[in-house]
Amino acid sequence: MKINDVILRTISRIVVFIILTFGVYLFLSGHNTPGGGFIGGLVLASAIILLYLSTDLETVQKSLPLDFKYVAALGVFLATSTGFGSIIFGVPFMSQTFAYFDLPIFGVTELTTVTIFEAGVALTVVGVLVTIIFSISEDGG
Amino acid sequence: MIDKILLVSLTLFVISIAIALFRIIKGPSMPDRAVALDMIGVNLISMIAIISIVLKTKAFLEAILILGILAFISTIAISRYIERGAIIEHKSDN
């Protein structure tokens, strides 16, 4: 039976970008306000899941050719390698540092190495969540 | 005065969520449960907004946005499961 879901497709085409923007905002709003890598990854994963819901598997995989297991593995590798990066400078494992830079648009900005670690966490969360949802909700076709 | 009004509206939202919970547990059909779950999501969003007025804080606005996104996606997922039996289709026929 052919089901007419043009409203869902049209709405989700716009809403996906709103959710992605909100996920990046949550990821960058970091350690002073609510947010961070884990929550940003959750919101980014929900945007990808909405893409899968509104269309089907083959359409999304044609435009987003990622194996999300490898995305999770890349995230874990990134998060651990920032921990080992602190050993090179002679400080304990997983030590973090930060400094203030004068960027052209943003003004004086605090840049930390926590952000790289959080990027790894976000990639891990996206990969694991999409893999879980994907494997429990396939129709076996 | 305004605090009393906010507290009364919070109580009314709690009663509304209790009624929707009754509909989820009892509900004769699955679409009733889907609509009641969506109603609980909307009521929770309104309750968080009123609580952030009472406490005079802006810290809960991200929680409101996340609840809205999750209520939207979960309602779509439930209704697709009721309608087609599978949440993510392998290949759509249209």
ipTM over 0.85 threshold: no
Mean pLDDT score of chain A, rounded to an integer? 85
The answer to whether the CB of A102 falls within 8 A of the CB of A11 is no
Q: Please report, for chain A, the start and end positions of each structural domain, with discontinuous segments joined by +.
A: 6-136
Q: Which amino acid is at A57?
A: L
Q: Which amino acid is at A118?
A: E
* pLDDT tens-digit series, residues A18-68: 999 999 998 888 767 777 888 999 999 999 999 888 888 888 888 888 888
Confidence of residue A89 (pLDDT cuts 50, 70, 90): confident
- Cα first-last separation, chain A: 16
Phi, then psi, of A89 in degrees rounded to 5: -85, 10
Residue B30: C-alpha distances to residues B24, B25, B51 (Å) = 9, 11, 32
Q: Using beta carbons and an 8 Å cutoff, which residues of A are at the interface with B?
A: 2-3, 8, 15, 19, 22, 26, 33-35, 39, 43, 46, 49-50, 52-59, 133-134, 137-139, 141
Cα–Cα distance, A82 to A86 (Å, whole number): 7
Per-residue pLDDT for A138 more than 60?
yes
* Structure tokens given for A94: 């997983």
State which residue of chain A sits closest to B91, comparing Cα positions. Answer: A56
Distance from CA of B26 to the nearest CA of A (A): 26
Per-residue pLDDT for A17 more than 50?
yes
Phi, then psi, of A2 in degrees rounded to 5: -85, 125
Q: Would the CB atoms of A57 and B63 count as touching at under 8 Å? A: no
Say yes or no: B59 contacts chain A, CB-CB below 8 A.
yes
Q: What is the pLDDT of residue B50?
A: 94
The answer to whether the CB of A45 falls within 8 A of the CB of A126 is yes
Distance from CA of A141 to the nearest CA of B (A): 6
